[in-house]
Amino acid sequence: MNGRKNGNKRITLKMIAKIVGVSTMTVSRALNDNKHVDEGTRRKVRETARELGYFPNYIAKSLVQQRTQTIGVVVPEIAHSFFAQAVKGVEEEAWERGYQIMLTHSAEDTRRETHGARALASKMVDGLIVSTAESGSDVEFFKSLIKGGLRLVFFDRCIYDIGASCVSIDDVDSARRATEHLIDGGYRRVAHLRGSLALSIGRNRLRGYRDALAERGVPADDDLVVETAIHEHGGYEAMKKLLALPEEKRPDAILAVNDTSAFGAMMAIAEAGLRVPNDVGVVGFYNDVRADLMPTPLTAITQPAREIGKIAARKMLAHIEDDSLPPENVLVPTELIVRASSTRDAGSSPAASI
């Protein structure tokens, strides 16, 4: 249970000092490229350090310097492509600046998110990059972290106005554009599989959807807004609810909060004997690899995950370098990738056939 295997004591500055016959400070200076060291001494120190296989103890260094060169990262699901890409972006940017990342996933669970963040804070990360859990976040806890001096940057799923930066797409505008695309394509009863209102993406995409309806003069129908979990089964279940509506109330298009739920919805649509896009148009968010491979390729708003991760990391490093830097909400541009799932064959839609 102790740190090292029996016998193999880790080499320390003190050991090298004893061998070379100088003080630990001289060794420290020699190894850290400090100018005020005799070249001969430096050579000797370097050599024995290499021979002994010395490498510095960053824990000790961190304790005295009060920084760990480590960034904590909390994501809801490591294995989801979007977050995996984002984490990669963070890691790349951190690596280039000599930082490591400490990764925790919350499994979309509030308690795990809080515990994970607390654990990383206890390990004295220089900052915390977080994307919040579907089941909601303990806002007061994050506030207290900030009050305690911890730097905090959210990405994709943010908590606003508590003094943290946020890096995300413009969810409202993106959802509006996607909805307008459906309406302009002749769809009249556009439904929204919305995300949890505990998530910024859930609230903002819902708002964009509603804005689009209002702007296009399409009457809003609350029956057409159904909550979905962000996974495939969630989309499937939510879609079944919509399909259970009386015929005249059923949607002819779906704006899904993300690709995964859109895939689930497409399954439910197929099971009901309906077809995409002629009976039901579908649009998702993210642009998953599968979007292009589905029997009917999926139209989607892109979320440049890796880029978002990179920007979040850069933002964090900027905050670390300058603690007086004010928090900022960074919006990353998106594109609407139009594929077959939202473009009816000419003349084949009920609406178009009027």
10 part of the interface to DNA, by CB under 7 A: yes
CB 269 within 8 A of CB 280: yes
Write out the two tokens for 194: 């919305």
In the chain, which ranges are E strands?
Answer: 70-75, 100-105, 127-130, 152-155, 165-169, 190-194, 225-227, 253-256, 281-286, 299-302, 329-332, 336-337
Of 15-23, 121-129, 246-254, 266-274, the segment contacting its own copies by CB under 8 A is 121-129
- In the DSSP assignment, the letter for residue 298 is P
Smallest separation (angstroms) from its own copies to the CB of 34:
18
Closest CA to 171 of 281, 332, 327, 282: 332
240 part of the interface to its own copies, by CB under 8 A: no
- Our CB check for its own copies shows the closer of 48 and 100 to be 100
Scan residues 64-93 and list those touching DNA (CB under 7 A): 64-66
- Our CB check for DNA shows the closer of 38 and 215 to be 38
- Our CB check for its own copies shows the closer of 91 and 252 to be 91
Per the DSSP assignment, residues forming a β-bridge with 165 are 153
CA angle centred on 28, ends 25 and 34, rounded to 5°: 100
Smallest separation (angstroms) from its own copies to the CB of 312:
15
- In the DSSP assignment, the letter for residue 126 is S
**List 15, 19, 102, 352, residue binding its own copies (CB under 8 A):** 102
Smallest separation (angstroms) from its own copies to the CB of 329:
20
63 part of the interface to DNA, by CB under 7 A: yes
Within 8 A by CB and 6+ apart from 259, the residues are 284, 285, 286, 287, 288, 290, 291, 298, 300
Per the DSSP assignment, residues forming a β-bridge with 330 are 167
- 103 touches, from DNA, its own copies, none (C-beta below 5 to 8 Å by class): its own copies
CB 95 within 8 A of CB 69: no
- 35 touches, from DNA, its own copies, none (C-beta below 5 to 8 Å by class): DNA
CB 264 within 8 A of CB 233: yes
- 26 touches, from DNA, its own copies, none (C-beta below 5 to 8 Å by class): DNA
- Our CB check for DNA shows the closer of 22 and 283 to be 22
CB 142 within 8 A of CB 159: yes
- Our CB check for its own copies shows the closer of 26 and 85 to be 85
Write out the two tokens for 236: 């499937």
Write out the two tokens for 275: 């077809």
278 part of the interface to its own copies, by CB under 8 A: no
- 353 touches, from its own copies, DNA, none (C-beta below 5 to 8 Å by class): none
160 part of the interface to its own copies, by CB under 8 A: no
Residue numbers at the binding site for DNA (CB under 7 A): 10, 12-14, 21-26, 28-29, 31-32, 35-38, 41-42, 56-57, 60-61, 63-66
Residue numbers at the binding site for its own copies (CB under 8 A): 1-6, 8-11, 53, 55-60, 62-63, 65-68, 70, 77-79, 81, 84-85, 87-88, 91-92, 95, 100-105, 107, 112, 116, 118-124, 126, 144, 147-149, 151, 289-290, 293-294, 306, 320-321, 323-324
